[in-house]
Chain A
C-alpha cells in the first residue's frame, strides 16, 4: 500500500510562492552590487572591424568594460560553437559585442551607447532552405574544427550543424508497393517560451578567484561545466546557485548571461555584478524555438496501412546551435511519430541561419514534427476516405511494434489514450453548422516523446536523517513550476515512511546539492526520482542494519513502518528513526556507525548510440511517453477567427506520483499549445525581431482557456520509480495539430503553417470557394 506516492499532495513550495516570499534572482540585492548592460549588434551577419570602448570607460560610475577578447573560449552543450561575446564577427541582430558594469543601470545604459563599433556587413541567411544551398554564405567557417558530442554530426564547410538519418527497411520498394503516395509540406515558425520571469544573473569573484553565480537556471551543473570551459577554471572554483526559477520551458536550460557577468565580475574588485534582461532582450537574446520546414511523403495501401514514409525536416537553428543540434537529432529518431511503419527514410537537418539562437522549448522538436506528422496523417486518412481516429488506430505503435529506429516496444498505452480521448470528445457526434457563420469541427492528434539527452547522463540525491528523525533531501533537479520539489519529496517520504512535512528539500547549489545533469527533457521524475528513491533506500538499509544489530534479528525480519523499524514477528521490538539517526548506541554506552546519510545515483540503463548511417538502434532513449489530444473548435467564417471550445487529453504516465500535479502540467501545456496554434509567431524580417513584446507577441490569457478534460493512463515503465514516466513536455505537443485538424473538420480548409491566424483561415476559405 502506497502512502505518499500516487497521492495528490499539496505543493511543498506553495506557501512561499503565494505570499510572494520566494526570492528569484532579480530579487537578490547584494551589497556593493554593480549593474551590467550589453552592447548589441545591429546587423544579422557582419565582420567586426573595430570596437572603441574608451568613451564608455571614461564615463563616471563605469567600473568595467569588456569585449569578446576576455572570453575567447568556444563553449556549447553538444557543439562548442559560441562565445559569450562576439569575436571577429556577429551572426545575429542583438548578439552581444561588449558589456559594461557600472554603479547603476542608467549609467551602464549610457556607457553602452558610448561604445563605438565598426562593422562590415556580410551576406546573411534567413531560412534553412537558403542555408543548405551549395552557394550559400557560410555562417561558421570553422565548423569543422568545433568540438562536439559523438551523437552530433556537423558537416564541415556547410551551414549544416547536424544531420540525423533514418534508413529503415526499403523505402523505394515500399512506395512501389503502395496503392497511394501523397506529399505534403508544413512550416512551424520561431516562437518564444515567454516565461514571465525575465532572465537574470549575478556573479561575484572572491579574493581567491572563486566565482559564485546566481542565476535562475534550469541546470546548475551544466552551467558550471560550460563556464569552466569558457574560463579555464577547475569546477570546484565555480559555484552556481539557482535561487528560484520563474518559468523556464527550456529557455533557461543553457548558459548565456552567466558568461557575461563573470568576466565583468573578474575585474570588479570583488563586487557583485548583476545583469537583468528586459522582455525585449529575452525575445532577441535568449533561446527561441527553432523554426522548421517539413516535407512528408507517405505511401499507403488501400486498406489504410502506411508502408513507406520519407520525411525531411529542415531546422532553422539560428546563429548558434550548440543546443539546437540535439533538437534535430530528436526530430530524427522520432521522425514518423508514434506509428509502426516498416520502410522509412528520414533526414533531420539542423541549419545555421542569421536568426536569434534556436534552442530547446518544451517538447524539444516533438511539437514541431508532430504538427507536420499529425496533419499529414489526417490529410492522408481523408484522401482514402478513412476516419482519422480509425486510421491512427490502424497504424499506431502497439506492444511488440518497432519504432522508426527499430526499437521493439512494450507497455504501449497509445491505444488506451486514443480510446479515452475519442470518448471524451464524443468523436462520433458532430454538430457542424451552429449558425450561418459559425462552423464547428473536431480534430485529433497523437504524440510520443522520449527524453532527448546523452545516453549516459546521471542524477544523484542525498538524504540526511536528522537527530530528531526529520529529513533533509538534497538534489539539483530544479522546480521551475512543474512541481518536482513536491514529487521528489513524496518519493523520499514513501521509502522512509516519514510525513511530507518532516522532509525539507534543497535544490540548486553546486557547492551543496549533488550532481544533476539537467532539468530538461521531462526526465526529472524518472531520473532524479530514481536517484531519490535509491538514496532513501540506502538510508533505510543503513538503519535496518543497525536495528538488526540492536535486536539480533536478521534484516529480512525487520521493516520500516511509520517512522520506526519494527520486527515483522515481535511488534514490541521496535526503534524510531530518530534513535538510529546518529548511529546505534550499544548497551555499554558506546556508539557505532555514526549519522545516517543516504546516497543515490542513477543513469538510465542500457541506452545506446544509434548507427550513424541508418539511425537504427534497439534502445536509443530511456523511455517513451505516449499521449493523445482531441480538440473541438468553432470557426467564424466571416472573420476567420478560431475559438477552441474543448480539449480532451489522455497520457500514459506509467505511474502518477502526484495525479493533481500531472493535471496541472497538462492544463498548462494545453494552453501553451493553444497559444502556439493560434497566435504565437516571432515576426522576423531580415534578422530583426519585429514583435519583441507581449503587446505584439500575444500569449494566451485567462479569456482563451477552453474546457479541458484530462485522463491519466498508467502502464508502468519498468525502469521508472514505481513505473513513472516523464510528462511535462508531452502536454503541449499534440495541441496545435489537433486544433489544425479540427479547423479542417469544421471548414474543409488546411492550414499547413503555424499559427492558424484569422487571416490565414479567411484566405483559405476564399481560395476554397474559387
Chain B
C-alpha cells in the first residue's frame, strides 16, 4: 500500500505516493532525480546522504520517505541556483576542500545546518558537527577551514 505525502522540497511543494518502506534517500534519488545525496553505507554511518529536514541535518538513508510528510527538505540541489552558489560552496572551492567530491554534498549540508544554528562556531564545534560525515580524500582540515571562513565572514562571500 502506498502512502500519500505532501512536503516542500527545495522550496517547491510536492505531493507523492510512496511505499511505506522507502527511504527518503531512495525517494530523492529514484523518484525526484535529486542525485546529489549519495549512498555510501545505507546505514547512517558515513553522512554522504545528508539533507536538511526542517533545518536539521538528517541521514536520509535512515529516514523513511513517509516521515517527510509536512516537512521542509533542502538538498544540495536547492542550495545554489543558476547564478549563485551558497557561501559554503564558494568557501569549499576557495579552500580546496574537495577531492573526489562524493562526500561533498553531504558535507556541505552538514556545514549549512551547523551555521544555521550556530553562526559563530569554534573549530571544535565544526569538528563535532562534521564528525558524522566521512571523507577519505581530504584529511578534513581544509573542510574545517572552509566552514570557519564562512563563519568569520558572517555568511558573506
Chain A positions within 8 Å of B, measured between CB atoms, are 10-11, 13-24, 26-27, 29, 193-198, 244-249, 278-279, 480-483, 660-661, 664, 667-672, 693-695, 699-703, 705, 708
Contact A18 B108 (CB under 8 A): yes
Contact A708 B141 (CB under 8 A): yes
Which residue of the partner chain, among A13, A480, A668, contacts B139 with CB atoms under 8 Å? A668
Stretch from B62-70, B127-135, B149-157 that touches the partner = B127-135
Whole-angstrom distance between the Cβ of A491 and the nearest chain B Cβ: 19
Residues of B within 8 A of A482 (CB): 99
Contact B45 A695 (CB under 8 A): yes
Which residue of the partner chain, among A26, A196, A198, A279, contacts B136 with CB atoms under 8 Å? A196
Chain B minimum-CB-distance residue to A658: B96
| C-alpha gap A437/B87 in the complex (Å) | 44
Residues of B within 8 A of A670 (CB): 139
Q: List 26 A-B contacts (CB under 8 A).
A: A11-B98, A14-B93, A18-B93, A19-B76, A22-B101, A27-B29, A194-B134, A195-B136, A196-B40, A196-B103, A246-B102, A247-B99, A247-B102, A660-B96, A667-B141, A693-B45, A694-B45, A694-B134, A695-B43, A701-B134, A702-B126, A702-B131, A702-B140, A702-B144, A705-B127, A705-B139
Residues of A within 8 A of B75 (CB): 20
Whole-angstrom distance between the Cβ of A695 and the nearest chain B Cβ: 6
Contact A23 B100 (CB under 8 A): no
Interface hub of B40, B89, B144 (most chain A Cβ within 10 A)? B40
Whole-angstrom distance between the Cβ of B32 and the nearest chain A Cβ: 12
Contact A693 B41 (CB under 8 A): yes
Whole-angstrom distance between the Cβ of A518 and the nearest chain B Cβ: 17
Residues of B within 8 A of A669 (CB): 139
| C-alpha gap A588/B49 in the complex (Å) | 63
Residues of A within 8 A of B23 (CB): none
Contact A196 B135 (CB under 8 A): yes
Chain B minimum-CB-distance residue to A480: B100
Provided the pairs A13-B101, A17-B101 are in contact, do residues A702 and B38 lie with their beta carbons within 8 angstroms? no
Q: Mark B100-144, 1 if CB is under 8 A from A, else 0.
A: 111111001000000000000000001110111111111111111
Contact B89 A18 (CB under 8 A): yes
Residues of B within 8 A of A11 (CB): 93, 96, 98
Provided the pairs A19-B85, A196-B136, A668-B138 are in contact, do residues A279 and B127 lie with their beta carbons within 8 angstroms? no
Contact A279 B101 (CB under 8 A): no
| C-alpha gap A313/B40 in the complex (Å) | 34
Whole-angstrom distance between the Cβ of B117 and the nearest chain A Cβ: 17
Contact B141 A10 (CB under 8 A): no
Residues of A within 8 A of B80 (CB): 19
Apart from A21-B36, A246-B38, A694-B41: 20 A-B pairs, beta carbons within 8 A: A10-B93, A14-B92, A17-B100, A18-B89, A18-B101, A19-B85, A20-B75, A20-B76, A196-B40, A197-B40, A246-B101, A278-B42, A279-B45, A480-B100, A664-B139, A669-B139, A694-B46, A695-B43, A699-B134, A705-B139
| C-alpha gap A578/B20 in the complex (Å) | 59
Contact A661 B96 (CB under 8 A): yes
Residues of B within 8 A of A703 (CB): 127-128, 131
Which of the four size classes fits the interface of chain B? 35 or more
Chain B minimum-CB-distance residue to A14: B93
Whole-angstrom distance between the Cβ of A720 and the nearest chain B Cβ: 23
Contact B139 A708 (CB under 8 A): yes
| C-alpha gap A701/B138 in the complex (Å) | 11
Is B35 an interface position by the 8 A CB rule?
A: yes
Chain A minimum-CB-distance residue to B104: A17
| C-alpha gap A197/B134 in the complex (Å) | 11
Q: Which of B8-31 contact A (CB under 8 A)?
A: 29-30
Chain A minimum-CB-distance residue to B37: A20
| C-alpha gap A16/B104 in the complex (Å) | 11
| A-B complex: 5 closest residue pairs judged by Cβ atoms | A20-B36, A246-B102, A481-B100, A17-B101, A481-B99
| C-alpha gap A249/B29 in the complex (Å) | 26
Provided the pairs A195-B102, A701-B134, A705-B140 are in contact, do residues A279 and B40 lie with their beta carbons within 8 angstroms? yes
Is B58 an interface position by the 8 A CB rule?
A: no
Q: Which of B38-63 contact A (CB under 8 A)?
A: 38-43, 45-46, 48
Residues of A within 8 A of B96 (CB): 10-11, 660-661, 664
Chain B minimum-CB-distance residue to A16: B101
Contact B100 A196 (CB under 8 A): yes
Contact A667 B42 (CB under 8 A): no
Residues of A within 8 A of B135 (CB): 196
Contact A196 B134 (CB under 8 A): yes
| C-alpha gap A193/B136 in the complex (Å) | 8
Whole-angstrom distance between the Cβ of B84 and the nearest chain A Cβ: 11
Contact B85 A279 (CB under 8 A): no
Provided the pairs A14-B98, A18-B108, A693-B43 are in contact, do residues A197 and B38 lie with their beta carbons within 8 angstroms? yes
Which residue of the partner chain, among B35, B126, B142, contacts A20 with CB atoms under 8 Å? B35
Residues of B within 8 A of A664 (CB): 96, 99, 138-139, 142
Contact B100 A246 (CB under 8 A): yes
Whole-angstrom distance between the Cβ of A28 and the nearest chain B Cβ: 9
Provided the pairs A24-B38, A279-B43 are in contact, do residues A667 and B142 lie with their beta carbons within 8 angstroms? yes
